[in-house]
Structures are given as C-alpha cells and as structure tokens.
C-alpha cells in the first residue's frame, strides 16, 4: 500500500522495539506484546500458542473463520503451513489443505455446557488477553465453604468461580519447537497471545497504520490551520 512510504524510519524504530521484546521473560511481571496502543502480536509466542491450541484446546473448542493459510500471519512459512495442514485429518477422512478452514471439534458436551468457539474469544470477554491467561492459570482447590456443582471445577477468574472445563494445561503438555520451557503458565500466556491474534489479526497493522495516519493528519491539520488563519487575516 502507498502508506508504507510514509515515515519509514519510524516504522523501523518500531520493528527494532518489537525485536527486543522477544527475548524477555513475559511472565514476571505478566505482560503481552499485544498490550497497549502500540501493541503487536509476538509471533514466536503466537506460534507456540498455536501448538498449545492444536494439541490441547482443539479437541473441544472450534476456531471459526480461520483457514490454515491464515497462520502465515503469525510468521509461519507456506511450507510449514502446508505441513501442518497435511497432518490434520478432516471429518471426511481427507487431509486438510492450507485453504481448509480450521477443523471443527467433534460434539463435546460437558454436562450441558458447550465449549465456546475460540475464534474471537479475546474480543468477546472483558479483560481479553489477560482474562484468557488468568482463566487458564486460575484453577485450584475451591475455597472453604464453597460447594461446587457436580462436574464443575473451581476457577478464580471465571465469573461465579466454577466452570465445566477442567484444568487442561500442565507443565510440558507440549514440546516447544523453539526450545522454550513449557511451563503451564508459559503455555497459558502463549495461547493467550495466539487467541489475541485470532480475534484481531490486524492488531499490529492497525497500530502501525494508525500511528502513521495520525501523524500525517496532525501535520496536515497544522498546515491547514495556518493557511486558514492567513487567508482569514487577509480576506476576513
């Protein structure tokens, strides 16, 4: 797009900042690269998060609207995407292609509760990314005096405190390709970043374009105001 020409140095500075964030420990204190008005998707974390989604979440939760080819948005190469798709058996028995939609889960019924679709879950829950992390790490023993409904589990982040979903994330539930230690908290943070991307794939582009557009129109507004004042002084 034509806007890419504007303020290229600014973009370069932004990219450098993104690169620096990758090596950090994002768990203590908890923070996400997608946070804030300049946030962008941490692609390495989102790729790890996809691995968690695929091996842990996907058996019960759908991911509506996404095609496997869309994974190129978190930095996977077309070859990697083709490999991922080829390893997935669709309902009709054929292998998925990069152009297939994410495979919907089989019918799961947790005692009447239907697992929600995760495609836009971060946009649909107050607290977004942080809520997903708090929820996934919020399981534990129920406090004294709280009686759980049958088939329910205590979760301090869930409204009401009890939920039909069991605690599914454990240390080393997946093996990360990039060598990151797969603690349960790391898995939760990574899957939260992946779901942030799936809810809002244009987050990074929106922030970059937004910053450039705001600067452009701020300058234009100043020029236009100066021109207006001058014309009004002479003619008004």
Partner 1 sequence: MTTETKQGGPRAATPCLAGLCAGLMRRDLAPGAPWLSTLPVLLGAVLALLLASGMALAVFYDPRAAQASLRFIALEVPAGWIMRGYHVTGAGLGFVLLYVHLFRMLLTRGYRGPAAAGWMLWVTLLAALLLAGWLGFALNGGLGGYWSLIDAISASLALSGPAGGVAMWFFGGAPGDGTLARLLVFHAVLGVAAAGLLWLACAATRQARPAPAGRMVAFWPVYAAQAFAALALLALVFALLMCFAPHWGQGAQSQLPASSLAVPAAVSYPWYLTPLAGLTALFPGAGGHALAVIAAAAALYALPWLDRSGGGAPGGLYRALTWLLGLDVLGLGLSAVCPLAAGLQILLFVWFFIHFLVLTPAVTAMEAA
Partner 2 sequence: MVDHTADANSVPVGESRRGFLAILAMAGGAVGAATILWPVIDALNPDAGSEAAARPVVTVSDIPENTARQVMWGGLPILIRRLTDKQLADNETVSMDDLPDPASLESRVAPANRHFVVVVGLNTATPCALEGNTPSEPRGDFDGWLCACDGSQYDPLGRARRGPSRRNLPIPRFTFINEAQIQLG
Q: CB 49: neighbour CB atoms within 10 A?
A: 29
Q: CA–CA separation, 105 vs 108, rounded Å?
A: 8
Per CB under 8 A, does 226 bind partner 2?
A: yes
Q: Strands, E, within the chain: which ranges?
A: 153-154, 162-163
Per CB under 8 A, does 119 bind partner 1?
A: yes
Q: Which two tokens stand for residue 62?
A: 């759908």
Q: CB 88: neighbour CB atoms within 10 A?
A: 16
Tell me how far the alpha carbon of residue 124 is from its chain's centroid.
Answer: 12
Please, are residues 198 and 120 in contact by the beta-carbon 8 Å criterion? yes
Q: Which is nearer to partner 1, 92 or 235 (CB)?
A: 235
Q: CA–CA separation, 184 vs 52, rounded Å?
A: 10
Per CB under 8 A, does 216 bind partner 2?
A: yes
Per CB under 8 A, does 8 bind partner 2?
A: no
Q: What angle do CA 184, 59, 27 make, to 5 degrees?
A: 20
Quick one: what does residue 232 bind among partner 1, partner 2, none, with the CB cut-off 5 to 8 Å set by partner type?
partner 1
Per CB under 8 A, does 218 bind partner 2?
A: no
Considering only 92, 144, 178, 235, the residue that binds partner 1 (CB under 8 A) is 235
Q: What angle do CA 86, 194, 95 make, to 5 degrees?
A: 10
Q: CA–CA separation, 12 vs 70, rounded Å?
A: 25
Per CB under 8 A, does 183 bind partner 2?
A: no
Q: Kindly write out the interface string for residues 30-69 of this chain, putting x where it contacts partner 1 by CB under 8 A and - elsewhere.
A: -------x--------------------------xxxx--
Considering only 15, 24, 156, 217, the residue that binds partner 2 (CB under 8 A) is 217
Q: Kindly write out the interface string for residues 31-70 of this chain, putting x where it contacts partner 2 by CB under 8 A and - elsewhere.
A: ------------------------------------x-xx
- Residue 201's φ and ψ, nearest 5 degrees, are -65, -20
Applying CB under 8 A, the residues found at the interface with partner 2 are 1-3, 67, 69-70, 97-99, 213, 216-217, 219-220, 223-224, 226-227, 230-231, 234-235
Q: Residues in the site for partner 1, rule: CB under 8 A?
A: 37, 64-67, 70, 117, 119-120, 123-124, 126, 201-202, 205-207, 209-211, 213-214, 217-218, 220-221, 223-225, 227-228, 231-232, 235-236
């Amino acid at each position: 797009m034509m806007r890419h020409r504007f303020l290229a140095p600014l973009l370069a500075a932004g990219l450098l900042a993104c690169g620096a964030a990758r090596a950090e420990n994002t768990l203590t204190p908890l923070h996400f690269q997608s946070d804030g008005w300049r946030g962008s998707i941490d692609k390495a974390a989102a790729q790890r998060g996809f691995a968690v989604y695929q091996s842990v979440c996907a058996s019960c939760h759908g991911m509506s609207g996404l095609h496997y080819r869309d994974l190129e948005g978190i930095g996977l190469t077309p070859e990697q995407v083709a490999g991922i798709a080829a390893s997935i058996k669709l309902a009709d028995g054929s292998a998925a292609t990069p152009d297939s939609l994410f495979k919907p889960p089989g019918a799961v019924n947790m005692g009447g509760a239907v697992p929600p679709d995760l495609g836009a879950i971060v946009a649909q829950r107050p607290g977004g990314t942080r809520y997903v992390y708090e929820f996934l790490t919020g399981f534990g023993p129920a406090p004294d005096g709280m009686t759980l409904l049958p088939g329910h589990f205590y979760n301090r982040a869930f409204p009401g405190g009890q939920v039909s979903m069991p605690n599914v994330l454990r240390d080393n539930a997946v093996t990360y390709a990039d060598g990151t230690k797969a603690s349960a908290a790391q898995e939760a943070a990574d899957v939260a970043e992946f779901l942030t991307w799936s809810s809002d794939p244009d987050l990074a582009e929106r922030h970059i374009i937004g910053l450039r557009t705001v600067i452009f129109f701020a300058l234009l507004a100043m020029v236009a105001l100066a021109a207006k004042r001058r014309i009004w002084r002479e003619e008004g």
